[in-house]
Amino acid sequence: MLRYPLLSIVALTAALSVSATSFANPFDLATATGLFEPSFRGDANTTYLGWDLFGNPGDSVINDTTPDLGSDAGSFITTNNEDHQSGSLNYYSGSGSVAEDVTFATDGVNGSGFTTVVVQAKTLFGGWGVDMDFGPIDGVEPSLVLQATNATGSGQLFVKYELPGTADPETFSMTSGPVSFTSFGEYVVDTAWSPTAFAADTAVATPEPSAAVLVLLSAGALLRRR
């Protein structure tokens, strides 16, 4: 009589164990539904800033020194004299070229330690078109550059830099040749400084329920057969 309850407990325990150790790839843009939240955001020696509005009404060239997202300082500046501001103050490049300098604050001991930088953006509309090029920070090229259309049909990018030491502020360039269109509804930068190592992970991993569900379904089928 106790076999079935015990089987259920075993199945549930196995499911919870799988759920706790099986994680979705935090860098899989194809299955993403929005920007990731770095696991270090809000910790000591971190910064967070970004834009969901670019510039001020009537600007001919974006020169935005007041981030709308987060609480740290930075700037988003168009460097090729093209007008990339839409009527709703979002970033839009029609048939022109992308040429932006992004400056951001860091929080650490200048010239020492390890700094992890995560840059993310999501299009306001449309999927991902021509890939962007990301320039070095203090001579260091990005260690990871991902650009794709996500699960909601929006374009999304995820870029990571790992810098030996830090300066405040830091700057990188984002460029591309002529493109059919590029729009940004969100553009954010996160940084984390440590005296000993780079950030262990750079996005919050979400539990992947499929394995746990399969275990429970298998257990249920076994119980029904018995």
CA distances from 134 to 87, 101, 142, 146, 160 (A): 27, 10, 7, 11, 10
**Given this model, what pLDDT does residue 52 score?**
95
What integer is the mean pLDDT of 211-218?
A: 40
- Residues of the chain with pLDDT > 90, as a percent, come to 58
pLDDT at residue number 16: 34
pLDDT at 105 over 70: yes
DSSP conformation class of 5: H
Tell me what the pLDDT averaged over the chain comes to. Answer: 81
In contact, 138 and 70? CB cutoff 8 Å: no
> What local confidence, expressed as pLDDT, does residue 26 receive?
62
How far is the C-alpha of 58 from the C-alpha of 89, rounded, in Å?
9
What is the CB-side half-sphere exposure of residue 80 using CA atoms within 13 A? Answer: 15
Q: Quick one: tokens of 175?
A: 């460029």
Share of the chain above pLDDT 70, in %: 77
pTM of this prediction? 0.79
- pLDDT at residue 116 in the model: 97
pLDDT band for position 86 (50/70/90)?
Answer: confident
At residue 47, the pLDDT reads 98
- Spatial separation of the C-alpha atoms in residues 80 and 98, rounded to whole Å: 8
Would residue 200 be called left, alpha or beta, if left means φ above 0 and alpha means ψ between -120 and 50 degrees? alpha
Q: Do residues 55 and 85 make contact, with C-beta atoms less than 8 angstroms apart?
A: yes
**Local confidence band at 7 (pLDDT 50, 70, 90 cut-offs):** very low
Could you give the CA distance from residue 102 to residue 118 in angstroms, rounded to a whole number? 12
Terminal Cα distance for the chain, rounded:
12
**219 — pLDDT class (breaks 50, 70, 90):** very low
Q: What share of the chain is helix, strand, coil (3-state, %, to 5)?
A: 15, 35, 50
Lowest-pLDDT choice from 22-31, 57-66, 138-147: 22-31
